[in-house]
């Protein structure tokens, strides 16, 4: 076993994704602090990302840049891909680059748990700090941050995406000026972290060329973390899958909603019975991995007419609204319109996907280890629609989407409905189609949730510190106590900024 004991880092960050890259960038601003960033994937230079990562029209990466996880939907044994970016920049390098903030209603739920440091007025300042944009109003938008966000103008959309926006308006939905502004209920082209067709992942933005020149920042790629090294309830480093030890005074896990709980559990922090069954010495009995949220996702797909089959830019527009039973302050439904579809599966060479999601799911899944081997993927169980209300709202969302598909403004671009298909005409058939074809939005959260120490579901405090273990912190989407109603990437970046500026 190799021991790099010649160097003791002040901070070791595990995972250089949406949160880890931010933490590495911010913590290394202090030249006296030695920072090590360990990334499981390749650590490309900011201007050397391959097209499969850099090009915004390509999502989910490829087998060389994905962890290869599968998750069980909990419905008739149906398994789905649980894509996670295996590259510096993490899933911000393989996602659809949708740059929408979470809403006040999302953070109000966190505050009710006693997490007052996540009050919306406080996080708003951090959202502003992280971004640079020319959009919106100065009072609510950021002008000088490291993360570029651009509102796509309607004129840049494809004919089909324009038709979706117009049809949504004709169905009675508002036109939204700025999803990151004051009002979100309605339809608009996306705000994206895309410039000139290039997805601006955190490995490019927060770890730009200037940041990487810092003498006190070390970035090592292609190093899969095994577990934290802990003695007498204090962390002193990390051991990787190849047996290399890195010593540090503090360890921050930013390996994502699947990776961070897996590392904790291999370190002996997790449900006692599960760990003992795998022969892992229990350091702390904790509810790690017991609360997994994911936005369920259903694809209402339309083949486009040949004269309207343009498919780039692929990420286009979204309707964000509420179901009939949603609380007044909640927007619990997305219908997102994209061209993220293989045109060879159509006869006309073009398709539009109206993807429906329930953004405030009540159903909870879990993540657990199937082996103590760090190269063996964890068990991922989504338990989608375990709570009946989630299915009811999904059915409502798909009906909303199909209504847009039937609108007079959409009909000129539409050749036919591919899924669920025009023969599906009643709730029984629609429910069957949804259950058979359900997918995930690739938005996993909450497997290492924040809360008060008295909260039986909480693993970390309001700043990501693991209860009972000195020097160990988790900073990524896994610490969200509840999933947010927007795509969580921008909020994950914000959370890392928020913790770095308030703690360090």
Judge contact between 378 and 405, C-beta under 8 A: no
Q: In angstroms, rounded to a whole number, what is the distance separating the alpha carbons of residues 355 and 101?
A: 19
C-alpha neighbours within 13 Å on the C-beta side of residue 204: 19
Q: In angstroms, rounded to a whole number, what is the distance separating the alpha carbons of residues 183 and 164?
A: 20
Cα distances from 436 to residues 76, 103, 397, in angstroms, run: 8, 31, 16
Token pair 């959309």 is at which residue?
157
Contacting residues for 413 by C-beta, under 8 A, at least 6 apart: 159, 160, 163, 304, 305, 308, 352
Active site residue 443: yes
Q: In angstroms, rounded to a whole number, what is the distance separating the alpha carbons of residues 123 and 223?
A: 32
Which of 470, 477, 471 has the alpha carbon at shortest distance from 492? 477
- Quick one: tokens of 451? 């809360």
Report the chain's C-alpha Rg in angstroms. 22
- Annotated active-site residue in 295, 334, 339, 443: 443
Other CB atoms within 10 Å distance of the CB of residue 381:
17
Cis bond before residue 420 (omega within 30° of 0): yes
Cα distances from 248 to residues 4, 199, 464, in angstroms, run: 10, 33, 18
44-52's contacts with Cβ under 8 Å and 24+ in sequence apart are 44/87, 44/88, 44/203, 45/209, 45/212, 46/203, 46/204, 46/207, 46/208, 46/209, 46/212, 47/204, 47/209, 49/87, 49/89, 49/93, 49/201, 49/203, 49/204
Contacting residues for 11 by C-beta, under 8 A, at least 6 apart: 23, 27, 33, 34, 35, 36, 248, 249, 250, 251, 252
Note the helical H segments in 366-457: 388-406, 427-437
Q: Strand 296-304 relative to strand 439-440: parallel, antiparallel, unpaired? A: antiparallel
Catalytic site residues? Answer: 443
């Amino acid at each position: 076993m190799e021991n790099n004991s010649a160097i003791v880092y002040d901070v070791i960050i595990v995972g250089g994704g949406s949160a880890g890259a931010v933490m590495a960038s911010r913590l290394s601003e202090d030249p006296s602090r030695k920072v090590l960033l360990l990334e499981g994937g390749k650590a490309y230079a900011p201007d050397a990302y391959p097209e499969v990562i850099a090009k915004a029209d390509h999502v989910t990466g490829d087998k060389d840049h994905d962890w290869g996880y599968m998750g069980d939907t909990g419905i008739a044994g149906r398994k789905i891909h649980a894509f996670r970016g295996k590259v510096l920049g993490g899933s911000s390098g393989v996602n659809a680059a949708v740059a929408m903030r979470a809403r006040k209603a999302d953070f109000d739920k966190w505050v009710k748990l006693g997490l007052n440091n996540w009050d919306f007025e406080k996080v708003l300042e951090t959202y502003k700090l992280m971004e640079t944009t020319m959009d919106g109003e100065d009072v609510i938008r950021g002008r000088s941050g490291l993360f570029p966000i651009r509102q796509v103008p309607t004129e840049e959309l494809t004919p089909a995406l324009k038709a979706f926006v117009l049809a949504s308006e004709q169905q009675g939905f508002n036109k939204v000026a700025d999803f990151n502004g004051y009002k979100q209920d309605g339809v608009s082209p996306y705000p994206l972290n895309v410039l000139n067709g290039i997805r601006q992942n955190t490995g490019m933005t927060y770890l730009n060329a200037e940041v990487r020149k810092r003498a006190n920042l070390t970035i090592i790629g292609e190093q899969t973390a095994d577990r934290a090294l802990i003695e007498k309830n204090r962390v002193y480093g990390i051991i990787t899958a190849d047996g290399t030890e890195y010593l540090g005074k503090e360890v921050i896990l930013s390996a994502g909603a699947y990776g961070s709980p897996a590392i904790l559990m291999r370190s002996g922090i997790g449900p006692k019975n599960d760990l003992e069954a795998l022969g892992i010495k229990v350091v702390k009995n904790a509810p790690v991995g017991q609360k997994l949220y994911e936005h369920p996702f259903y694809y209402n797909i339309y083949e486009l007419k040949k004269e309207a089959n343009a498919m780039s830019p692929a990420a286009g527009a979204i309707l964000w609204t509420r179901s009939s039973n949603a609380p007044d302050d909640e927007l619990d439904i997305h219908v997102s319109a994209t061209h993220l579809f293989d045109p060879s599966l159509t006869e006309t060479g073009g398709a539009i996907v109206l993807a429906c999601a329930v953004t405030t799911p009540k159903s909870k899944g879990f993540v657990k280890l199937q082996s103590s081997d760090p190269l063996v993927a964890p068990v991922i169980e989504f338990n989608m629609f375990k709570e009946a209300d989630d299915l009811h709202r999904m059915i409502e969302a798909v009906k909303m989407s199909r209504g847009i598909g039937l609108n007079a403004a959409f009909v000129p671009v539409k050749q036919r409905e591919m899924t669920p298909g025009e023969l599906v005409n009643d709730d029984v058939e629609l429910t069957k189609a949804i259950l058979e074809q359900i997918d995930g939005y690739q938005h996993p959260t909450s497997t290492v949730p924040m809360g008060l120490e008295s909260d039986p579901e909480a693993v970390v405090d309001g700043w990501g510190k693991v209860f009972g273990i000195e020097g160990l912190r988790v900073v990524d989407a896994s610490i969200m106590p509840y999933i947010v109603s927007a795509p969580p990437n921008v909020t994950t970046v914000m959370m890392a900024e928020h913790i770095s500026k308030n703690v360090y």
